[in-house]
């Protein structure tokens, strides 16, 4: 249980909360949970929401000084304001004077921990950084989510779900909804269920395409590429993912060459275990020089596309041919 859940349980709230980080699903979840705890459904008088440039500090301060109307709290939700990077000094000073009946909730993508506003919130309120969750945390979340629907998932099925959906909790939530509907009244969710209804994300398809190319299965690799084009995936996006994949592969290869074991590589790279498992195996197919050479080809192809020297689809095909060599 984190500090926000503990505040809700006790019914005692800080004057200001900051949710930030890369996991959008969790930011939205905790923002909704805190809002529900503070403001009755349908109460628009005591709930104010500001986004981006709307979040003028003078307006926010004026709103915060307005007493709630027939309610214990007034909640001011501020999203993607940028005030934790610049322009938040007035709010930083006001954090010491926020009325007991007012609660600020900031939800930000990026923050500067050196800013006065961040330091003020740290001293007077609660800050929660919400990162992408690791595989173990995601599995626990999947199990809890399914338990609410009176369902259980096999370990192998959960592993496959993570391989196909990745660590984006919005995507995982959608895939779990499909599995719940697909299995109906049946309690158990199997690997076969995941294979039947869960769509592989683009990153996983690109991984398999590269693996086929590296293994010399040229026809299979190009068939996979044509499938992606048929599904209207932009070749430039596919090229970007190939480059991103080989940069990860280079990191793993370097750590392996330095003698680090699997757990040490996971700790140093920050990669999820379900991603790392495949990368470690694939790293054996390429030496460092070869990976760097492919990354150069990707960069050259990207430049050729953007300068109009080569058709985007042809450029990606040329990279694939080179990987197959």
CATH of the domain at 174: 1.10.8.60
Residue 43 burial (CB count, 10 A): 16
- The residue from 197, 212, 235 where one domain ends is 197
User: How many angstroms separate the CA atoms of 144 and 97, rounded?
Assistant: 40
In this structure, the answer to whether residues 11 and 94 fall within a common structural domain is: yes
- The residue from 154, 181, 197 where one domain ends is 197
In this structure, the answer to whether residues 35 and 53 fall within a common structural domain is: yes
User: How many angstroms separate the CA atoms of 110 and 123, rounded?
Assistant: 19
In this structure, the answer to whether residues 114 and 19 fall within a common structural domain is: yes
In this structure, the answer to whether residues 229 and 283 fall within a common structural domain is: yes
- The residue from 129, 156, 182 where one domain ends is 129
pLDDT value for 142: 96
In this structure, the answer to whether residues 282 and 226 fall within a common structural domain is: yes
Q: How far is CA 226 from CA 70, 118, 160, in A?
A: 62, 48, 24
pLDDT value for 130: 92
**118-141: pLDDT as tens digits:** 999 999 999 999 988 888 899 999
pLDDT value for 312: 93
In this structure, the answer to whether residues 153 and 72 fall within a common structural domain is: no
In this structure, the answer to whether residues 7 and 125 fall within a common structural domain is: yes
CATH of the domain at 212: 1.20.272.10
- Reported pTM: 0.73
**260-298: pLDDT as tens digits:** 888 888 888 878 777 788 888 888 888 899 999 999 999
pLDDT value for 215: 86
105 with 2: CB under 8 angstroms? no
The β-bridge relationship of strands 74-79 and 47-51 is: parallel
In this structure, the answer to whether residues 185 and 207 fall within a common structural domain is: no
In this structure, the answer to whether residues 124 and 145 fall within a common structural domain is: no
**223-235: pLDDT as tens digits:** 999 999 888 889 9
Using CB atoms within 10 Å of the CB of residue 176, give its burial: 0 to 12 exposed, 13 to 18 middle, 19+ buried: buried
In this structure, the answer to whether residues 102 and 26 fall within a common structural domain is: yes
In this structure, the answer to whether residues 9 and 120 fall within a common structural domain is: yes
**39-92: pLDDT as tens digits:** 988 888 999 999 988 899 999 999 999 999 988 999 999 999 999 999 999 999
Residue 191 sits in which domain range?
Answer: 135-197
pLDDT band at 147; cut points 50, 70, 90 = very high
CATH of the domain at 120: 3.40.50.300
Count the domains in the chain.
Answer: 3
Say whether pLDDT at 1 is over 60: no
pLDDT value for 306: 92
In this structure, the answer to whether residues 217 and 306 fall within a common structural domain is: yes
Nearest by Cα to 204 from 247, 150, 161, 234: 161
pLDDT band at 94; cut points 50, 70, 90 = very high
pLDDT value for 200: 83
**152-203: pLDDT as tens digits:** 999 999 999 998 888 889 999 999 999 999 999 999 999 999 999 998 888 8
């Amino acid at each position: 249980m984190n500090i926000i859940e503990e505040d809700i349980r006790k019914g005692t709230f800080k004057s200001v909360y900051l949710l930030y980080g890369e996991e959008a699903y969790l930011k939205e979840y905790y923002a909704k949970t805190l809002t529900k705890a503070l403001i009755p459904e349908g109460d628009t008088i005591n709930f104010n929401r500001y986004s981006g440039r709307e979040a003028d500090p003078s307006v926010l301060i004026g709103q915060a000084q307005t007493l709630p109307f027939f309610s214990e709290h007034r909640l001011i939700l501020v999203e993607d304001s940028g005030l934790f990077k610049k322009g938040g000094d007035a709010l930083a000073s006001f954090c010491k004077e926020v009325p007991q009946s007012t609660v600020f909730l900031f939800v930000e993508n990026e923050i500067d921990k050196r800013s006065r506003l961040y330091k003020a919130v740290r001293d007077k309120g609660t800050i929660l950084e919400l990162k992408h969750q690791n595989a173990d945390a995601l599995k626990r979340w999947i199990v809890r989510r399914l338990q609410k629907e009176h369902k259980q998932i096999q370990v192998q099925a959960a592993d496959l779900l993570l391989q196909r959906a990745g660590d984006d909790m919005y995507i995982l939530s959608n895939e779990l909804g499909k599995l719940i509907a697909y299995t109906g009244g049946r309690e158990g969710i199997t690997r076969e269920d995941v294979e039947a209804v869960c769509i592989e994300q683009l990153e996983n398809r690109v991984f398999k395409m590269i693996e086929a190319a590296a293994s010399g299965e040229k026809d299979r690799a190009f068939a996979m590429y044509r499938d992606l084009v048929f599904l209207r995936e932009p070749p430039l996006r596919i090229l970007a993912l190939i480059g991103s994949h080989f940069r990860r592969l280079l990191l793993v290869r370097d750590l392996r060459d330095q003698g680090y074991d699997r757990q040490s590589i996971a700790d140093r790279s920050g990669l999820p275990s379900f991603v790392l498992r495949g990368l470690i195996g694939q790293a054996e197919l390429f030496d460092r020089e070869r990976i760097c050479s492919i990354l150069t080809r990707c960069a050259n192809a990207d430049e050729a596309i953007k300068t109009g020297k080569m058709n985007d689809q042809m450029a990606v095909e040329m990279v694939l041919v080179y990987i197959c060599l």
